[in-house]
Amino acid sequence: MAGEMADDARSIFSRAALSLPPPHVSLDLLSSGVCVRCIFRLFGVHGDFYSCPFLTGPELHYFLKLQNGCQAGISENGHSSFGLHQCSEESDFNQKYCSICLGILQFPQDLYLGEGTSKDNFSIDVFVEKIAESIKIANHQIDGFFLEVSIPPVIVANERSIWSYMKKKYDSEAWFKNKALYNQISLKDALRLSITESLENKLSVKSGANSFHICLAYTNSEASLSLQNSLRKVQSSNRRRTEKENVVKVVDQCGNGQLDSREQLCSKSDAAILKELSSLDDHTFCDLFELPPKKASNSCKLMITCYRMPVFIGGRYLKFSRKVSQTLWIIDDERMGEASVEEIVGTPALEICRGDSYKFHAAGREDIDVRMLGSGRPFLVEVSNARFLPSMVDVVQMAVKINNSEKKYVMVRNLEVVGSEAWNLMRVGEAEKQKQYAALVWISRPLTDEDLQSISSVDNMEISQSTPIRVLHRRSPLERKRIIHWMKIEKIVGSSQFFLLHLCTQAGTYIKEFVHGDLGRTFPSIGSLLACRVEILQLDVTDVKMDVFI
Catalytic annotation, residues: 367
- DSSP-assigned beta bridge partners for residue 488: 502
Cβ atoms of 62 and 82 closer than 8 Å: yes
The region, left, alpha or beta by phi > 0 then psi within -120 to 50, assigned to residue 468 is beta
Angle of helix 341-353 relative to helix 392-403, nearest 10 degrees? 150
Q: Mind spelling out the 3-state secondary structure of 196-252?
A: HHHHHHHHCCCECCCCEEEEEEEECHHHHHHHHHHHHHHHHHHHHHHHHHHHHHHHH
Residue 500 identity (one-letter amino acid): L
Tell me whether the omega of the peptide bond preceding residue 348 falls within 30 degrees of 0, making it cis: no
Distance CA 514, CA 266 (A): 57
**Collapsed DSSP state (helix, strand, coil) of residue 331:** strand
If you ran DSSP here, which 8-state letter would residue 139 be given?
Answer: T
Distance CA 53, CA 128 (A): 13
For residue 300, what is the enclosing H or E element?
A: none
Distance CA 529, CA 258 (A): 75
CA triple 291-114-271, angle to 5 deg:
50
Distance CA 520, CA 25 (A): 84
Cβ atoms of 146 and 213 closer than 8 Å: yes
